[in-house]
Structure 1
Amino acid sequence: MPRIETDICIIGAGSGGLSVAAGAAQMGARVVLLEGHKMGGDCLNYGCVPSKALIASAKQAHAMESGAALGVAPVAPSVDYAAAKDHVRRVIETIEPMDSQERFEGFGITVIREFGRFISDREVQAGDTVIKARRFVIATGSGPLVPPIPGLEDVTVHTNETIFDLRDRPDHLIIVGGGPIGMEMAQAHVRLGSRVTVLEGAKAMGKDDPELARIVLDNLRAEGVEIVEGAMAEKVSGNKNGAVTVHTDKGDFTGSHLLMAVGRKVNVDKLDLDQARVAHDRGGVRVDAGLRSTTNKRVYAIGDAAGGLQFTHVAGYHAGVIARSILFGLPAKAKTSHIPWATYTDPELAQVGLTEAEARKKHGKALEVVRAEFAHNDRAVAEGKTKGLVKVMIVKGRPVGASIVGPLAGELIGTWAMAIANNMKMSAIAGTVLPYPTLGEMNKRAASAYFSPRLFESDTVKRVVRFVQKYLP
């Protein structure tokens, strides 16, 4: 049996694993990278990239029938669903070389296309090869969770791993799950010509600020998405090639296709972690603040495998954290307070730090909340995209959270992510000069809303101004 000794063995070639591998190899470490499925992981092949590509196709279709207010006569789009999926495939193929085996072998990395499993506390077997390493990085990500609903075995169930391969447009897509994935796919498909029903057992977009989520949900409903909240799926009936019915306590819902979007399951079951004395549970590997296993100091976990926030950019951030520890022996801790996220519906919804409810619970009377509405932004008015607002939570002059719903919210949240990550004051945002007219001015307007009462409603400020006007030569 072939044996390899190396400095770092990385299990999983998704975003986080690839980042660790490239950085470590280019800084002189010996690296072995294991991947039993597709290079690039979930994000490239089944998640962020294909979903945004399909959303782009849907956006073009929607634009053809929504331009009346701008003087453009609406026309019904002629949608070729299969061609839209061809666009998705081309986007993946364009990005694939950056994540390819050949590129990473070019860095001097040994890439083994086999799943890895621990056989001891410092050995992993991949295929017929045993790898002994000083450090291991578990970067196996997560996959779609399909709950054990009675009847699912009798019907065709789509997840994010199969929906992008579907070539025939669903006549009526039933989506179980009202979170970000469910809502993005709901809007994309209704814009591409499908009828869509979303069934959510609790509240749709329940993890987001309810005021902002309501704006998104109202817009989706206006576009034709049926959203049924409090509808817990109890059983499913149908057959593999025909209609499928989801039975809930709110009634029965029948469609042509079923998409499960109820959450994610961390991919650690096949790693034989007990052989390596690595403590774990359903949420992933149990790690300390530095993302190191609490029971085997040779093992690190990043991204979804480490539990917590399940976003591609978190895996990339984690890669940088553990690189400091593994490569330089320096202390490093992962934080979450500065991690943003976005849901790419129209309008988009983005968040960083504390929501208003979380901030009120944590900071009480010390909290100030300021708001700025897109309706008062000249660029938004010019483009007819005035739905939405920026909400910023502030304590002692510094932002502790920001919530945005509106056009390009996923881009605009970056300002607040930077501010929170660097402990910046609101004055830094207010003092920034931005080109006019841009949506970026929304953030500056929110910062100005913090200072306006201090300047314009302060008797002290008015007395100083009157004194200067009276006595300054």
Structure 2
Amino acid sequence: MNEIKTDILIIGAGSGGLSVAAGAAQMGADVVLLEGHKMGGDCLNYGCVPSKALIASGKAAYNQRQTEPFGVASAAGKVDYAAAKDYVAGVIAQIEPVDSQERFEGLGVRVMRAFGHFISPTQVQAGDTVITARRIVIATGSSPLVPQIPGLETVPYQTNETLFDLREKPEHLLIVGGGPIGLEMAQAHIRLGSKVTVIEGAKALGKDDPELAQVVLDSLRQEGVVIEEDTVASEVKGKAGAIEVITEDGRAIKGTDLLMAVGRKTNTSKLNLGAAGVETTKSGIKVDAGLRTTNRRVYAIGDVAGGLQFTHVAGYHAGVIIRSMLFGLPSKAKTTHIPWVTFTDPELAQVGLTEAQAKRDHGIALEVVRFPYEHNDRAIAERKTKGFIKVMVVKGRPVGASIVGYQAGELINLWALALANRMKMSQVAAMVAPYPTIGEVNKRAAGAYFSPRLFDSPMVKKIVGLVQRFVP
């Protein structure tokens, strides 16, 4: 049995693990990185990167068919599905070197390509090697949750881990799950020429503000996506090319291919966490505010920590624990400033509290300001007027922002900055936005907060009147 001693052992080379490894190694720590599957984790290989690439392919096809409003004859937007998947693979290949074993070894990280499991509170075994570490970081991420629906064990289906290898275009794609993954892939495939039916047991995009979510759902339905809400799948039948999803109310929804997109489960089963004294919850590994587990030498970050499951959260968690592990400084993870985006068209973005959450937490102190895309000149010029922003404000400070529309994922950055730094609406209003840009939507939302204070105030009008009469 080989033995290695190190300062920091990281289990998992996804976004969070790689961020910790790069930062810790470059600041002088001895680092071992353990990865039993693909470098880059889910985001690079099965998640963010391939899904956004496929969305881009679908958008390219769709845009060719939507040019007449601009005085340009529309084209057929003919799709080669296999070529689109080759494009997706090419995008992954272009990004891969940034997450590669070679790059991290060049940074001084010892990379081991093996799965590991705990054998004591400070030791992990990987193959025939035992690694003893002062600090251990669990960054094993999550994987697709496949529910136990009768018949599913005999019917071929895709998850996000297999979908991007599919080279034959689905004639009619059935998607079980109406969350961000399900709806992003629904729109991508309808634009690439498939028929698509989404089957959702509750409300589609149920974690987002329902007013904004409805704008997205209406858009997808207009493009031809069938979205069956409050429809629980109770059984699956058939074979490749002829699949039926039987619902609780007895309907049979037929298609040729099946994608399961009902959620994620944390990857902990292979870790033997009991040997390390690391406790779990229903959602993942139990952590404190500093992302330490019940074993104070062990941290958990990213999806496996059981909170928000986004790549940028894993990267943020990495920064939190580096401060603690390397410098011994107190450091806590927060969620109030974390944004998220659903990359449909229109996009749906959120940071901080939704309107309903803000009403619950702040009551009559809450003010909600809104601004529609249809009053933004750049949106008019681009024919992107569908959508709006609303900002939740308490005592002059934004506590949340919700945006649905063109480039919502870009616009939300400003509000993420504002919430992270406890900025006031006056600071956002003081920004000068170049004209004409979509970014003016943010500026105008801040203006909408101050407009009634300036234009509807008798006191302001009285002061202005006095100045005009008496100030030379």
TM-score normalised to structure 1 length: 0.99
Amino acid at match of 2:243: V
SS at match of 1:279: coil
**Deviation of the 1:198 alpha carbon:** 0.2
Q: Does residue 355 of structure 1 match 2:354? A: yes
Q: Is the 8 A contact 2:2 2:130 kept in 1?
A: yes
d(CA) in 1 for partners of 2:134, 2:18: 18
Instruction: Give the equivalent residue in structure 1 for 2:192.
Output: 192
Q: Is the 8 A contact 1:348 1:410 kept in 2?
A: yes
SS at match of 2:270: helix
d(CA) in 2 for partners of 1:122, 1:283: 24
Map 1:383-422 to 2 at 5 A.
383-422=382-421
Map 1:273-352 to 2 at 5 A.
273-293=273-293, 295-352=294-351
Q: Is the 8 A contact 1:290 1:321 kept in 2?
A: yes
Q: Does residue 364 of structure 1 match 2:359? A: no
Instruction: Give the equivalent residue in structure 2 for 1:158.
Output: 158
**Deviation of the 1:33 alpha carbon:** 0.2
Map 1:160-309 to 2 at 5 A.
160-239=160-239, 241-250=240-249, 251-293=251-293, 295-309=294-308
Instruction: Give the equivalent residue in structure 1 for 2:71.
Output: 71
SS at match of 1:394: strand
d(CA) in 1 for partners of 2:141, 2:405: 30
Instruction: Give the equivalent residue in structure 2 for 1:22.
Output: 22
**Deviation of the 1:352 alpha carbon:** 0.1
Amino acid at match of 2:319: G
TM-score normalised to structure 2 length: 0.99
Which shifted more, 68-77 or 283-292? 68-77
1:223-262, Cα deviation, whole Å (9 max, x unpaired) = 00000001100010012x3311000024111111000000
d(CA) in 2 for partners of 1:73, 1:297: 64
Instruction: Give the equivalent residue in structure 1 for 2:133.
Output: 133
**Deviation of the 1:427 alpha carbon:** 0.6
d(CA) in 1 for partners of 2:58, 2:104: 34
Instruction: Give the equivalent residue in structure 1 for 2:436.
Output: 437
**Deviation of the 1:73 alpha carbon:** 1.9
Instruction: Give the equivalent residue in structure 1 for 2:6.
Output: 6
d(CA) in 2 for partners of 1:173, 1:153: 18
Instruction: Give the equivalent residue in structure 1 for 2:43.
Output: 43
Q: Is the 8 A contact 2:346 2:386 kept in 1?
A: yes
Q: Is the 8 A contact 1:325 1:331 kept in 2?
A: yes
Aligned alpha-carbon RMSD (Å): 0.6
SS at match of 1:280: coil
d(CA) in 1 for partners of 2:114, 2:282: 23
Which shifted more, 242-251 or 229-238? 242-251
Instruction: Give the equivalent residue in structure 2 for 1:89.
Output: 89
Amino acid at match of 1:66: Q
d(CA) in 2 for partners of 1:336, 1:287: 14
SS at match of 1:284: coil
Figure out how many residues of one structure are paired with residues of the other and give that number.
471
Amino acid at match of 1:396: K
d(CA) in 1 for partners of 2:119, 2:443: 55
Q: Is the 8 A contact 1:197 1:225 kept in 2?
A: yes
SS at match of 1:161: coil
Q: Is the 8 A contact 1:266 1:282 kept in 2?
A: no
d(CA) in 1 for partners of 2:444, 2:419: 18
Amino acid at match of 1:65: R
Amino acid at match of 1:104: F
Instruction: Give the equivalent residue in structure 2 for 1:117.
Output: 117
Q: Is the 8 A contact 2:241 2:255 kept in 1?
A: no
Amino acid at match of 2:468: Q
Q: Is the 8 A contact 1:146 1:262 kept in 2?
A: yes
**Deviation of the 1:437 alpha carbon:** 0.2
1:195-217, Cα deviation, whole Å (9 max, x unpaired) = 00000000011111011000000
SS at match of 1:125: strand
Instruction: Give the equivalent residue in structure 2 for 1:458.
Output: 457
**Deviation of the 1:281 alpha carbon:** 2.7
List gaps (5 residues or longer) in structure 1. none
SS at match of 1:281: coil
Amino acid at match of 1:52: K
d(CA) in 1 for partners of 2:436, 2:126: 55
Instruction: Give the equivalent residue in structure 2 for 1:449.
Output: 448
d(CA) in 2 for partners of 1:179, 1:155: 22
d(CA) in 2 for partners of 1:42, 1:214: 29
Q: Give the fraction of aligned pairs with identical amino acids, expressed as a percent.
A: 70
Amino acid at match of 2:414: T
**Deviation of the 1:36 alpha carbon:** 0.2
SS at match of 1:429: helix
Q: Is the 8 A contact 1:47 1:160 kept in 2?
A: yes
Q: Is the 8 A contact 2:337 2:416 kept in 1?
A: yes
Q: Is the 8 A contact 1:119 1:125 kept in 2?
A: yes
**Deviation of the 1:75 alpha carbon:** 2.2
